[in-house]
């Protein structure tokens, strides 16, 4: 006997509420007294917009988990920041790293090429790996990168070695 729209929506809502609470499809199916085949049919047929509501419930659950993890992280950071716990900072290097990355853009990972001439060098190496002839040595300009005070420069020995490698003919 088919269920009415209202009865189906009530079952779906009970399942989704349990899913948000527990994060477990199996527990939520049991809690809402829904068979797995019914759940699969709701997803496949998108009964009463179930797919979107299911996805949104998973997002809500995931957000709640992330918030709980953030709370634990900030509590741990607060604890290790107390003067009597400074010696314990070494136990949490990853926690500290991620907290810095979250709070300061300068600590975030980047895939940008920042050295002058590095983009040309990368392009030349890519061409070589693709079997093309080596570019002219002038493609490589002296490479320079800056540390926080702008004082670090890559030595010319490395630059000349790279130029020599890139200027070789394929044999």
CA distance 93 to 84: 18
Predicted local confidence at residue 38, as pLDDT: 96
Q: pLDDT digit of tens for each residue in the chain (171 aa)?
A: 457 999 999 999 999 999 999 999 999 999 999 999 999 999 999 999 999 999 999 999 999 988 888 888 888 888 877 888 877 777 777 877 887 887 788 877 776 655 666 777 777 777 777 666 655 555 444 444 444 444 344 444 555 656 666 666 444
For position 139, what pLDDT does the model report?
45
The two tokens of residue 80 are 């290790």
Alpha-carbon distance of 80 to 155, in angstroms, equals 40
Inter-axis angle of helices 118-129 and 156-167, to 10 degrees?
Answer: 30
Q: Which residue has the tokens 């979250």?
A: 102
Cα–Cα separations (whole angstroms), residue 88 to 5, 82, 92, 127: 58, 10, 8, 49
Q: What is the pLDDT of residue 120?
A: 72
Which among 164, 171, 162 has a CA at the least distance from the CA of 131? Answer: 171
Q: Tell me how far the alpha carbon of residue 162 is from its chain's centroid.
A: 33
Domain edges within the chain: 5-107, 118-167
Contact 165, 139 (CB under 8 A): no
- pTM, 2 dp: 0.50
**pLDDT attached to residue 117:** 67
Residue pair 47/8 in contact by the 8 Å Cβ criterion: yes
């Amino acid at each position: 006997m088919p269920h009415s729209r209202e009865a189906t929506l009530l079952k779906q809502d009970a399942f989704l509420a349990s899913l948000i609470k527990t994060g477990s499809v199996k527990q939520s199916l049991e809690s809402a007294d829904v068979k797995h085949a019914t759940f699969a049919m709701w997803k496949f047929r998108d009964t009463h917009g179930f797919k979107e509501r299911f996805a949104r419930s998973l997002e809500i659950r995931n957000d709640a988990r992330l918030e709980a993890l953030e709370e634990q992280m900030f509590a741990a950071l607060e604890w290790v920041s107390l003067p009597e716990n400074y010696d314990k900072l070494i136990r949490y290097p990853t926690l500290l790293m991620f907290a810095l990355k979250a709070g300061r853009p300068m600590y975030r990972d980047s895939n940008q090429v920042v050295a002058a001439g590095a983009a040309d060098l990368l392009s030349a190496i890519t061409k070589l790996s693709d079997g093309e002839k080596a570019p002219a040595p002038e493609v490589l300009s002296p490479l320079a990168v800056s540390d926080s005070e702008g004082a670090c420069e890559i030595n010319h020995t490395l630059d000349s070695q790279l130029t020599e490698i890139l200027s070789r003919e394929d044999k």
